[in-house]
Amino acid sequence: MPLTVLSNEQLRSLLLSLTRDEVLQLQKNLAQALREYSTGSQDKGCSADYQPQRTAITRKDGSSTIFMPASTGSTMGIKIISLQSGGKAGYSTGSATRGRESRVRFAPEASRDSRPSIGSDISRLSISSQEDSDILNVPSASINNRPLSPVSSTSSASRTGLSSTSGAWFGAGTRDTSPPGTVTLLDSNSIPFGIIRAQELTAFRTALASMMLFNRRKKAKTITVFGAGKQAYWHIRLALVLRDEIKRVYIINRSFERAAELLKDIYGPENTSWRGNVKFSAFSSDFVESERLLKEAVRKADAIFCCTPSTAPLFPAEFLTSSEGRRKGRLVCAIGSYKPHMTELHPDVLRDEVTPHHSSHHHHRHTRRSGVIVVDTLDACLQEAGEIVQAGVTPQQLVELGELMMIREAARLAMEQGGEEEKGLLEWIESGNVIFKSVGLGLMDLVTGGDLIKLAQERGVGTTVEEF
């Protein structure tokens, strides 16, 4: 099998050439892998049972290296990224498994017999206030039976004393905030068939996952993006490629110079086909009326994408939790923070979403509270996601993206057969408040990276080593 090597520029060129249909196919493949990760039994190659834990080492100079292995059953891979300056020297960490014994899992009908049932009394997923909590019947509920793993000794106290950038992001004003590194892809015989620079791939596959929820939103006229790096770029680009009804994009960044540079990229003549007639607005906290502009951008948004390594909330919680803020449903994706002391969303935003509220005479004017936060991987988010940790969200209040996609499909099929109880779930995904927190997992890099290597070989992109 030949080995294909994609440099950062070669990969970017390939990604920029993707058509809408090709993006959708890549997304479909990633969604299938995430469904197997969350709900698949051991006969599914992408099942969490076959995903080794990530680990990291920190050297005396404070620089760290993270190792993210993954497997699909037919291929294997490992992502290695370097994090510079800061951190407590000498520790290593794995992705700890917490709360599996108490966690509710939602499984498709076909896999009921392979999972121990926990009874119909908790086989519902809350999507509104407490008195409306019986609106959704989930096809099946069970406790996931993955083996328990020991909690890492570095999961809490030993992570204190880090620099303000957590040692993983470059300094203020730097254009590229994606950690450098590589993804190595191997076949079932452990022979490499692809090597990809990680920066652009990480940003692209993360946005691809966010778009799984964004695709299903009924209203998508206005989006607000925090950040101006690769993550922000790919969230904007994929949103516009996939949804032609977008009319307005707000870009908010600490450094206006970086936001202006991002706008310059977007307004390049080669981007006319996907940029269309969308109106872009960019500002920073240095603007005289930044507070008013910030509130307007958050309140008007149908979708908010947070793409920064922030250690403080990007906007006040009341923008979304107040009576005015609750009058419309939004998709909020937070993908930038990845350590317990980092947070893009105020913890009160998450607490408000998972806490049942009693009805009032204004209730009919408010969107329903879902009762859950959507995550890419429960285990890593419980340990690493600052929003989850600081808000005190429990495993029962989290649902993985792969699980949600499986439940949504089951609900759709049930409705086609005349079922009404599943209507609430679909309404929530399409129009309600949906909060998605992502810290990434190696499986995402392996699946999307493998698809991109195939495309590169078909198009003659990259450097090929025959019979490696």
In a domain, 268, yes or no: yes
Query: Quick check: helix, strand or coil at residue 166?
Result: coil
| CB contact at 8 A, 425 and 136 | yes
Q: What is the pLDDT of residues 46-58, one digit of tens each?
A: 999 999 988 888 8
Q: Is the pTM of this model over 0.85?
A: no
pLDDT at residue 45, rounded to an integer: 87
In a domain, 383, yes or no: yes
Report whether pLDDT(358) > 60: no
Categorize the per-residue pLDDT at 1 as very low, low, confident or very high, splitting at 50, 70 and 90: confident
pLDDT at residue 421, rounded to an integer: 58
How many whole angstroms separate alpha carbon 395 and alpha carbon 153?
20
Q: Could you give phi then psi for residue 157, rounded to 5 degrees? A: -60, -35
pLDDT at residue 286, rounded to an integer: 86
Report whether pLDDT(288) > 60: yes
How many whole angstroms separate alpha carbon 15 and alpha carbon 181?
18
Report whether pLDDT(17) > 80: yes
In a domain, 161, yes or no: no
Q: What is the pLDDT of residues 324-333, one digit of tens each?
A: 998 899 999 9
Domain that holds residue 277: 3-83+177-465
Q: Let me know if 120 is exposed, middle or buried by CB neighbors in 10 A (0-12, 13-18, 19+).
A: exposed
CA distances from 127 to 44, 133, 292, 426 (A): 29, 6, 31, 10
Number of domains in the chain: 1
Report whether pLDDT(103) > 70: no
User: Which range (40-49, 85-94, 191-200) has the least confidence?
Assistant: 85-94
Categorize the per-residue pLDDT at 148 as very low, low, confident or very high, splitting at 50, 70 and 90: very low
In a domain, 327, yes or no: yes
In a domain, 418, yes or no: yes
* 60-73: average pLDDT: 90
Token duo for residue 83: 């994090």
Residue 41: CATH number of its domain: 3.40.50.720
